[in-house]
Structure 1
Amino acid sequence: MEAYKLVLLGESAVGKSSIVLRFMKDEFSDHIDSTIGAAYSTKSVEVDQDGREVRFEIWDTAGQERYHSLAPMYYRGAQAAIVVYDITRKATFERAQAWVQQLQQAASAETVIALAGNKCDCPDSAREVDALSARALADSKGLLFMETSAKESINVTELFERIAQIIARKYKHKPRRSSRPHAAVLKKEEASGGCGCG
């Protein structure tokens, strides 16, 4: 089975770890801790009716600014990246654009990049980033785009499945080596701030 490195990038408290938890275990917690460094996990996704699977090696990176300098170490060699922003915090969308630019400059041209607007379960009154603007940005940059809710399990599995399908086509005859960590930092620290929706 092919193994593909996927990294999640985005500001603190946008819901990266919640997205991973929903995808990995179909669970949600209001009290998830902030990631320190990066957390590593693996999961396989079936990509066609023949039962072909893609195994994701998922790196959930820390969003706090003091860890931003570590990001290139985690996205180096990645076949896919999900840049996450919080639809209720415009600043996280603006920062997501910087993450996309950084990825497109430094990552392989083959890297599949997805833009995910998380917390789409929040009321419209809390929304600061409209889906049309985000989709227009994604289209202009050649990104996959979805709005997600880790809390309500909206489009999370679908996002990973879509990435897996794209990767399976791109790397049909190019098996990947494992990117398993030698000494990944898997610690958490208490989160602060951000909307309570997921």
Structure 2
Amino acid sequence: MAGITWHYVLKFIITGDAGVGKSSLLVRLTDQRFLANPDPTLGVEFGSKLIEIPEEGKVVKLQCWDTAGTESFRSITRSYYRGAAGCLLVYDVTSRKSFINAKSWLADVREHADPHLTCILVGNKVDLCDEEASGSSNRRREVSTDEADEWARKEGLLFLEASAKSGNNVDSAFEKASCDILHKIKHGVFDDDRSPGVKLSKPTNGSVALNQASNKQGCCS
């Protein structure tokens, strides 16, 4: 991996109710595999990955903190919100309660995180909706795409539905949020390399390499 470097390090937090698939999304991003029955997160878990943002001509290193979704760990996880540049606010499309509770998680993030943080609402487990259509699932969609999209727009959030199981839109969620952060850096919203969640890396050889294949689809549209 010699010579591998990046332009920015971006700190992300992943938050939402327990059981919505936060850990599975992180493992899908970092290891490209699916955890069917992950152990409950105790406090926080960490993962990182290099991704390419072609529209900005940048490679960024994501440092992702997966936070516990239970009330008993809430005071601990709040400390990880500080300085984050990006947030995945996750709910389960088959659990209306997790969508309703996303409002409380968002309020927490906005109280403790950088006011300029980019937040993307992610509706996870859409694979269960496909199984429902084929008659092989005993769980039904409880949150429509339109309802979630409308709430996200109202709150000024980005929005995607995804599946940690299939991998659908998982990379895209992080890429879309990263693209928005880079846009903010370019326009001076984030204080380049002085905001805690944004660290500038200066390549030593004048070039940046990527050690993994990346999704070339546009994220800034």
Could you state the TM-score of these two structures normalised by the residue count of structure 2?
0.76
Match of 1:38 among 38, 44, 65: 44
Superposed, which structure 2 residues align to 1:34-113 within 5 Å? 34-48=40-54, 51-113=57-119
Q: 1:112 to 1:138 in 2, by over 3 A?
A: same
Instruction: Report the structure number with the largest CA radius of gyration.
Output: 2
Cα pair distance change 1:4/1:50, threshold 3 Å: closer
Residue pair 1:35, 1:61 contacting (<8 A) in 2 also: yes
Instruction: Name the CA shift for 1:130/1:6 in 2 (closer, same or farther; >3 Å).
Output: same
Q: Secondary structure at the residue paired with 1:23? A: helix
Q: RMSD of the TM alignment (CA)? A: 1.8
User: Which secondary structure state, in structure 1, belongs to the residue aligned with residue 193 of structure 2?
Assistant: coil
What's the CA shift string for 1:22-49, capped at 9, x where partnerless?
Answer: 1111100212111111011211211126
Contact 2:56 2:182 in 1 (8 A): no
Q: Deviations over 1:122-153 (max 9, x none)?
A: 13561111111111100000000011100011
Shift of 1:50: 7.2
Pairwise CA distance, 1:154: 1.0
Letter in 2 for 1:105: E
Aligned AA (2:152): A
| Structure 2 residue aligned with 1:133 | 147
Contact 1:88 1:128 in 2 (8 A): yes
The corresponding residue for 1:166 is 180
Is residue 23 from structure 1 mapped to residue 41 from structure 2 by the alignment?
no
Letter in 1 for 2:29: F
Contact kept, 8 Å, 2:16 with 2:22, in 1: the verdict is yes
Cα distance in 2 for partners of 1:104, 1:163 equals: 16
Aligned partner letter, 2:155: K
Measure the CA separation in 2 of the matches of 1:65 and 1:102.
12
1:175 to 178, 182, 193: 193
What letter corresponds to residue 171 of structure 2 in structure 1? T
1:148 equivalent among 162, 175, 185: 162
Cα contact 1:4–1:178 (8 A) shared by 2: no
Distance 1:106 1:50 in 2: 29
Structure 1: 4+ residue segments shifted above 6 A: none
Offset of 1:102 from its aligned partner? Answer: 2.2
**Residues 3 and 178, structure 1, Cα contact 8 Å, conserved in 2:** no
Q: Among all aligned residue pairs of Structure 1 and Structure 2, give the percentage whose two residues are the same amino acid.
A: 35
Please, which runs of 5 or more residues in structure 1 have no aligned partner? 180-198
Q: What secondary structure sits across from 2:116 in the alignment?
A: coil
Q: Match of 1:101, SS?
A: helix
Q: Work out the CA distance in 2 between the residues paired with 1:160 and 1:145.
A: 11
CA distance in 2: counterparts of 1:61 and 1:156, whole angstroms: 17
How far off its partner does 1:158 sit? 0.6
How far residue 169 of structure 1 moved from its aligned partner, in angstroms, is: 1.4
Q: Work out which of the residue numbers 118, 122, 125 in structure 2 matches 1:116.
A: 122
Q: Using the TM superposition, give the Cα deviation of residue 72 of structure 1 relative to its aligned residue in structure 2, in angstroms.
A: 1.6
Deviations, residues 68-94 of structure 1 (Å, cap 9, x unaligned) = 122220111100111101111111111
What's the TM-score, normalizing by structure 1? 0.84
